[in-house]
Amino acid sequence: MEKDMSKDMNKDIAANRKREKIEAVAKAWFLINASVAIICVAAITFFVFYKGLQPFFTGNHEGTYSFIKFITGLEWDYSDNPEVALYGVLYMIIGSIVATLGAIVIGVPISVLTAVFIAEIAPEPVKKIVKPAVELLAGIPSILYGVFGLGIIVPWIRDISPKAQGQSLFAVMIVLTIMILPTIITITENAIRVVPNSFREGSYGLGASKIQTIFKVILPAAKSGIITGVVLGIGRAIGETMAVILVAGNPQGGIPTSIWEPIRPLTTNIALEMSYAFGMHQEMLFSTGVVLFVFIIVINLILARAKAKISEQ
């Protein structure tokens, strides 16, 4: 009988070991899947930089291209002949930055005020219309913003512009403004909603009106949330491709001197020419991607900082 018992115990121990093994394997498996995100970020960063920096250092059979000429160049004119090909992106960088700033300047006040309306002012039935509308705006694919821009905004600008062309910096600004609205509205609305009610009550108790409470108490308290939304909006605007490709005009060179002039954002430069580019031309498109990526990394780092600050509070 004793023998039987020890046999049973051995069996139990074996079963337990097997179970522990399965548990350990499962845990490792889940960890591997969780690490995919890290691998992806690392791989994306490595390959985009590796491929995009190649033409400046190792080059190919067409030789290398001067990084200074690339980053300070005001003209983009690809050619099979390396002697005459020009790959300058400074005017694109300026175009991208100015368009993004314009969209932020117009878009942030509109977004914040809309968020205030949804969170603080709108009665429940109105809220039930406005909120899904903002969600739908966020769900419309960016290419359709571009089609809308090409069909409505560009002809409108052609009518009021001193230039003959409607595709312009101004058109890009408007389209980007529309695109960043839902991002900033949603995040600002959340930030306003988490402001404790005691703030409102305190303000009302001191005799402040609703408007005074909103602008002097609630918005300052929601500041860091709003900043997060704005930074996200900047990231979205500078990385946007398909919405602006149809309305930007995409000239071969020249820094825009007014909002009526066409621009060529970094993103559209890549999407426009990639389908037929090869050799040095293609590699310079990857280099354009590197410039864009540097902007995105900086924006992401700022964002991580802002979020860390919020969680500290």
Partner 1 sequence: MNNQKFLDHGTTLARTSSSRIIKDGFFYGVIGVATLFTIGVLVMILAFIFSKGIGHIDLNFFMSDYEQDTQYLNVPIAEDGADNKLGITIGEIETEDGIFMGVTSISSKANVDASTNRADDAYALKKGDVIKKIGNTKVEDFTAEEINDVINQQTDNVIGVKMFRPGGGVYPMIITTLMMIGLSLLIAGPIGIFAAIYLVEYAKEGRLVKVIRFATESLSGIPSIIYGLFGMIVFVGLFKFNYSLLSGALTVSIILLPIIVRQTEESLKAVPMTYREGSLGLGATKLYTIRKSVLPSAIPGIVVAIILSIGRIIGESAALLLTAGTVSRIPSLFSSGATLTVKAYAVAKEEGNIEMACAIGTVIIIMVLILNGISKFISRKYTIKH
List the interface residues with partner 1, window 244-303 (CB under 8 A).
245-246, 267, 270-271, 274-275, 286, 289, 292-293, 296, 299-300, 303
Asked if 179 contacts 278 with a C-beta cutoff of 8 angstroms, the reply is no
Query: In the numeric block, which tokens belong to residue 218?
Result: 């609630």
Binding-site string for partner 1 from residue 45 to residue 84, where x marks contact by CB under 8 A and - marks none: --xx--x---------------------------------
- Indicate the residue among 68 and 240 with the shorter CB distance to partner 1: 240
Contact positions with partner 1 (CB under 8 A) in 98-117: 109-111, 113-114, 116-117
CB 153 within 8 A of CB 165: no
- 217 binding partner 1? (CB under 8 A): yes
- List, in sequence order, every residue forming a beta bridge with 115; answer none if it has no partner: none
Using an 8 Å Cβ cutoff, are 299 and 238 in contact?
Answer: yes
- 149-188 mask for partner 1 (x: CB under 8 A)? -xxx-------------------------x--x---x---
Q: How far is Cα 143 from Cα 182, in angstroms, rounded to an integer?
A: 16
Q: Are 112 and 184 in contact (CB under 8 A)?
A: yes
Which part of the chain contacts partner 1 (CB under 8 A), choosing from 3-11, 84-92, 134-142, 254-262?
134-142
Question: Among residues 9, 66, 105, 141, which is the contact residue for partner 1, using CB under 8 A?
Answer: 141
Could you say whether residue 134 binds partner 1 (CB under 8 A)? yes
Q: What is the rounded distance in angstroms from the CA atom of residue 265 to the CA atom of residue 123?
A: 41
Helices (H) and strands (E) in the chain, counts: 14, 2
Tokens 């540097």 belong to which residue? 294
| Shortest distance, position 261 Cβ to partner 1, whole Å | 21
